[in-house]
């Protein structure tokens, strides 16, 4: 249809359709003055042509480049000014280079790193200033290290730790200031410790304690 496929307009849909049908022309537009035309062209050029736009002034173009480059060629983008470029790098870079982004100023980049790192490599994130990052760490760190996060300032993190800790270790949360942390711990602490929360200020915790003790007697 007329106008359905056109590289000269400022319509991403039409430009993309043009390059999809005529990928051999994509290289001619890597230096085009319109950023979206350059970014779309990046999707269709051979990998060998991407060097021409590695330092493109537009972050969308650089992001498109990072999506296409092989993982082992992404290190030059680790300190890119655009956080979404760095997030894409963190999501795709080789695992042995992943920790190069561990101190990124943006929490979303660090969150991406934390999600990909092996549990034994997460200790540097235990005191991360961002709650979402610490929650991921609490979910993944080895069981033997859970105690390192039992005093986290965020109840959301302590709940995860209380849930993952062994029955005996979870007793330390029965006096937590957050009632959901206490409830989480009360669900699986040894029955000998359940009596500690029979008079808890929260009705749900008292009912849980009574239910567990009644089940034992039953």
* 25 and 87 housed in the same domain: no
**In terms of residue numbers, what domain contains 21?**
1-69
Q: What is the pTM of this model?
A: 0.86
* 47 and 122 housed in the same domain: no
pLDDT in the model for residue 10? 66
* 110 and 133 housed in the same domain: no
Query: Using 50, 70 and 90 to split pLDDT, how confident is the model at 6?
Result: low
* 156 and 218 housed in the same domain: yes
Does the pLDDT at position 97 exceed 60?
yes
Distance CA 91, CA 82 (A): 15
Total count of domains within the chain = 3
Maximum average pLDDT range among 1-5, 31-35, 160-164:
160-164
Q: What is the pLDDT of residues 139-161, one digit of tens each?
A: 999 999 999 999 999 999 999 99
Query: Using 50, 70 and 90 to split pLDDT, how confident is the model at 15?
Result: confident
* 107 and 199 housed in the same domain: no
* 88 and 102 housed in the same domain: yes
Distance CA 119, CA 99 (A): 13
* 12 and 29 housed in the same domain: yes
What is the b/e burial string over 135-172, where b = at least 16 CB atoms within 10 angstroms of the residue's CB? bbbbbbbeeeebeebbebebbebbbbbbbbbeeebbbb
Distance CA 20, CA 34 (A): 18
Does the pLDDT at position 102 exceed 70?
yes
* 93 and 140 housed in the same domain: no
Nearest 5°: phi and psi at 200?
-60, 150
Does the pLDDT at position 217 exceed 80?
no
* 22 and 109 housed in the same domain: no
């Amino acid at each position: 249809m007329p106008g359905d496929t056109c590289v000269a307009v400022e319509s991403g849909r039409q430009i993309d359709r043009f390059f999809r049908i005529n990928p051999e022309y994509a290289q001619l537009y890597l230096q085009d003055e319109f950023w979206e035309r350059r970014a779309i062209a990046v999707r269709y050029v051979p990998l060998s042509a991407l060097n021409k736009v590695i330092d493109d002034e537009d972050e969308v173009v650089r992001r498109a480049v990072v999506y296409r480059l092989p993982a082992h060629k992404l290190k030059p983008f680790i300190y890119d000014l655009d956080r979404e470029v760095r997030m894409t790098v963190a999501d795709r870079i080789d695992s042995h280079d992943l920790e190069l982004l561990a101190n990124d100023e943006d929490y979303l980049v660090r969150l991406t790193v934390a999600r990909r790192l092996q549990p034994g490599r997460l200790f540097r994130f235990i005191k991360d200033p961002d709650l979402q990052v610490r929650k991921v760490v609490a979910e993944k760190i080895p069981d033997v290290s859970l105690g390192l996060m039992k005093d986290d300032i965020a109840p959301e993190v302590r709940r995860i730790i209380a849930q993952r800790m062994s029955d005996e270790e979870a007793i330390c949360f029965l006096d937590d200031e957050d009632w959901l942390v206490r409830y989480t711990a009360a669900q699986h602490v040894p029955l000998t410790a359940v009596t500690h929360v029979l008079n808890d200020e929260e009705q749900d915790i008292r009912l849980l304690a009574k239910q567990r003790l009644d089940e034992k007697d039953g």
